[in-house]
Amino acid sequence: MNDIFTLTLISGVLVAAASGLVGSFLILRRMALMSDALSHVALPGIALGVVLHFAPIWGGLVFLFFGVTLIWLVENKTKLATESVTGVMFVTALAIGALMIPEQDLLEAFFGSITKLTVLQIGVQALVAAAIIAFILIYKKRLTLFAIAPDLSASLKTSSFKMQFILLALIALTITIGISFVGVLLMSAIVIIPAAAARNMAKSFNGFLAVAVALAILSLISGLLIGEAYGANPGIMTVLVSAGLFVLSLFWRI
Amino acid sequence: MDSSPLLEVKDLTVTFDGRSVVNDVSFTLKPQEVLAVIGPNGSGKSTLLKTLVGINKKYSGSIAFAPGAKIGYLPQRFHVDFYLPMTVREFLDLKPEHKYSLEEVLRLVEIPGNWLDENLATFSSGQLQKILLAFAIIDQPQVLLFDEPTENVDVVSQESIYDLLHELQDKTGVAMVIISHDLNVVYRYAQTVLCLNEKMLCYGPPIEALTNETLSHLYGDHAFFHHHHFGDHHREEGHEHHHE
């Protein structure tokens, strides 16, 4: 096991933990498919990075923020249904991105690739993940109340407008740091599936968050290790592990 | 005791899509006062309450709470996802400020202490309403804003929540704005009534304000003079209320 793979695993633990937490709030807010759809919006940005030779993650980040801001404005300023706008946006982004990316790089963008990660990128991913985790833990109560009862949250003078943007920004950041592990098509493997499985299993809220984090870490690390051992794509392995855990969660209430 | 108003509303108008839903509403709420806002469905009652609470921010006119006054809010709906993994304790902990201990607040709303570590999803809608009431009063607000549920709460639970509010008012002196479509609520619990059907049709002590003329104006002639219609109308919305 080389040093860079070890660093990738460490960063993977943090990224998975952040994803499990963000996914938990998305599930409560019934925005589960948002992360899946949004991750596609990163593709044109990633394509620009590949074509113009800069780290694709930055291109992805810019496009994601463009995407969440657009969704947020549509939700708040127009009468258009968010779902349909998101739908239009994500297939368009997918098509444009796929058109721009050279064919040999396309699979990596779709399903993730950790082979081209630099130490700097791994470090940035770990730091951003740690920041997301810290933010969620600090504002846990407010985020939770907003997610389960927006009216009660607003009655406590918390701006729903602001909270929704914060949640969308957390999704964008999480996708940005998760894409290199699982790719744009498989992001929900570490964001939604662990949180959905945790909801099946947990009785308390803290238990729900803890189980979501644990399952996300277990899925991603298993995926990376299996990928490394058998030369398989780690993103695909991660999805298979997390899907397996989801099936188990249907029978195992803790 | 200081009798300057806790809440003063002047010329409040709320407009949605160019149609005014609440028109020129003015009233004051004094400490310990119970104000019932009544009107048929779609009369703007819930909109009025949501505007007072701060959920709806688009309005004209003024809403002034006394400086430092805290409000507690009981929403009309609280749909708990059956799979929401959260205990009563965790839910009550989401309120930023606690002035009562969890045990004290449960006693006030007459919830057994062993509910604390039960999952929210296991309770009936009537029980959930008590839990919501505990959430609303745990920081000892001066004003309680209560939006009566229009679905899924049976008569017994509904009666008991009003009795509970009444007792709470006796014990703590909290002022209340209660939204209801039920005239019984007004006569039994409120000192002041405000009739709303997009605009204010009456305001004052129930005996003076609720004249037959006002009521027929408020609910429409046929609804008021033929109680069967009144009942049918409500059952259509999923009610089991009985109007004598």
Instruction: Find the mean pLDDT for residues B183-194.
Output: 87
Pairwise CA distance, residues A174 & B76, whole Å: 35
> Is A157 in Cβ contact with B135 (below 8 Å)?
no
Cβ neighbours of residue A198 closer than 8 Å, sequence gap 6 or more = A20, A24, A207, A208, A209, A210, A211, A212, A215, A249, B85
Pairwise CA distance, residues A238 & A10, whole Å: 16
The DSSP bridge pattern shows strands B143-147 and B71-74 to be: parallel
What amino acid is encoded at B185 in this protein?
A: V
What's the pLDDT tens digit per position in B201-225? 899 998 888 888 888 878 775 444 4
Predicted confidence at residue A130, as pLDDT, reads 98
> Is A145 in Cβ contact with B94 (below 8 Å)?
yes
Most confident of the following: A37-41, A143-147, A150-154, B195-199: A143-147
Shortest CA distance to B136 belongs to which of B147, B150, B123?
A: B147
Within the 126-185 window of chain B, which residues sit less than 8 Å (CB to CB) from chain A? Answer: 135
| Partner residue opposite B94 with nearest CB, options A144, A157, A200 | A144
Does A231 or A14 have the greater pLDDT score?
Answer: A14
Does A85 or A12 have the greater pLDDT score?
Answer: A12
Most confident of the following: A137-141, A250-254, B20-24: A137-141
pTM to 2 decimal places: 0.86
Domain count, chain A: 1
Predicted confidence at residue B82, as pLDDT, reads 63
How many percent of chain B have pLDDT more than 90?
45
Cβ neighbours of residue A251 closer than 8 Å, sequence gap 6 or more = none
Q: How far is A141 from chain B (nearest CA, A)?
A: 5
| Interface predicted TM-score (ipTM) | 0.87
Of the residues A143, A157, A199, A203, the best mutation for testing chain B's interface (the one with the most B CB atoms within 10 Å of its CB) is A203
Quickly count: other Cβ atoms within 10 Å of residue B48's Cβ. Answer: 27
| Banded pLDDT at A51 (limits 50, 70, 90) | confident
Three-state secondary-structure class, residue B194: strand
Q: How far is B87 from chain A (nearest CA, A)?
A: 6
Tell me, yes or no, whether A151 lies in a domain.
yes
Q: Does B94 touch chain A (CB under 8 A)?
A: yes
Least confident range of A96-105, A142-151, B30-39, B97-106:
A96-105
Side-chain-side CA neighbours of A161 within 13 Å: the count stands at 10
* DSSP one-letter code for B139: T
Tell me, yes or no, whether A254 lies in a domain.
no
Pairwise CA distance, residues A211 & A194, whole Å: 8
Residue with tokens 């699982």: A182
Nearest CA in chain A to B89: A204
Nearest CA in chain B to A25: B84
How many percent of chain B have pLDDT more than 70?
85
Structural domain including A7 reads 3-249
Which chain B residues contact residue A160 at CB under 8 A?
55
pLDDT at B236 over 50: no
The CA angle A75-A77-A82, to the nearest 5 degrees, is 20
Give me the residues paired with residue B197 across strands: B199
Which chain B residues contact residue A20 at CB under 8 A?
none
The first and second tokens of residue B101, run together, are 């201990």
Predicted confidence at residue A110, as pLDDT, reads 85
Torsion sign, CA atoms A104, A106, A111, A115: positive
Tell me, yes or no, whether A92 lies in a domain.
yes
The DSSP bridge pattern shows strands B19-29 and B7-16 to be: antiparallel
* Architecture of the CATH domain B7-236: 3-Layer(aba) Sandwich (3.40)
What's the pLDDT tens digit per position in B53-89? 998 888 999 999 999 899 999 988 776 666 789 999 9
The DSSP bridge pattern shows strands B192-197 and B7-16 to be: unpaired
Instruction: Find the mean pLDDT for residues B153-164.
Output: 77
CB pairs A-B closer than 8 Å: 58
Distance of CA B128 to the CA centre of its chain: 15
Pairwise CA distance, residues A145 & A138, whole Å: 14
Instruction: Find the mean pLDDT for residues A33-54.
Output: 86
Contact A3, A15 (CB under 8 A): no
| Partner residue opposite B96 with nearest CB, options A141, A149, A208 | A141
> Is B73 in Cβ contact with A199 (below 8 Å)?
no
Give the domain CATH number at A23: 1.10.3470.10
Predicted confidence at residue A13, as pLDDT, reads 97
**pLDDT mean across residues, chain B:** 83
Contact A193, A241 (CB under 8 A): no
Predicted confidence at residue B227, as pLDDT, reads 40
Of the residues B94, B129, B147, the best mutation for testing chain A's interface (the one with the most A CB atoms within 10 Å of its CB) is B94
Q: How far is B134 from chain A (nearest CA, A)?
A: 13
Which helix (H) or strand (E) segment holds residue B48: the answer is helix B45-53
Q: How far is B73 from chain A (nearest CA, A)?
A: 7
Pairwise CA distance, residues B132 & A189, whole Å: 35
| Partner residue opposite B73 with nearest CB, options A141, A155, A160 | A155
Q: How far is A70 from chain B (nearest CA, A)?
A: 22
Within the 77-136 window of chain A, which residues sit less than 8 Å (CB to CB) from chain B? Answer: none
Least confident range of A31-45, A140-154, B166-180:
A31-45
The first and second tokens of residue A124, run together, are 């940035």
Shortest CA distance to B115 belongs to which of B131, B94, B136?
A: B131
Q: Does B78 touch chain A (CB under 8 A)?
A: yes
> Is A202 in Cβ contact with B85 (below 8 Å)?
yes
Most confident of the following: A19-28, A72-81, B189-198: A19-28
Of the residues B17, B78, B86, B138, the best mutation for testing chain A's interface (the one with the most A CB atoms within 10 Å of its CB) is B86
Q: What is the DSSP string of chain A?
A: --HHHHHHHHHHHHHHHHHHHHHHHHHHTT-HHHHHHHHHHTHHHHHHHHHHTS-HHHHHHHHHHHHHHHHHHHHHHSSS-HHHHHHHHHHHHHHHHHHHS-HHHHHHHHH---TT--HHHHHHHHHHHHHHHHHHHHTHHHHHHHHH-HHHHHHTT--HHHHHHHHHHHHHHHHHHHHHHHTTTSTHHHHHHHHHHHHHH-SSHHHHHHHHHHHHHHHHHHHHHHHHHHT--HHHHHHHHHHHHHHHHTT---
| Partner residue opposite B85 with nearest CB, options A149, A154, A203 | A203
Give me the residues paired with residue B34 across strands: B176
Tell me, yes or no, whether A173 lies in a domain.
yes
Contact A34, A67 (CB under 8 A): no
| Banded pLDDT at A6 (limits 50, 70, 90) | very high
Q: Does B96 touch chain A (CB under 8 A)?
A: yes
> Is A148 in Cβ contact with B84 (below 8 Å)?
yes
Which helix (H) or strand (E) segment holds residue B134: the answer is helix B125-137
| Partner residue opposite B119 with nearest CB, options A28, A144, A203 | A203
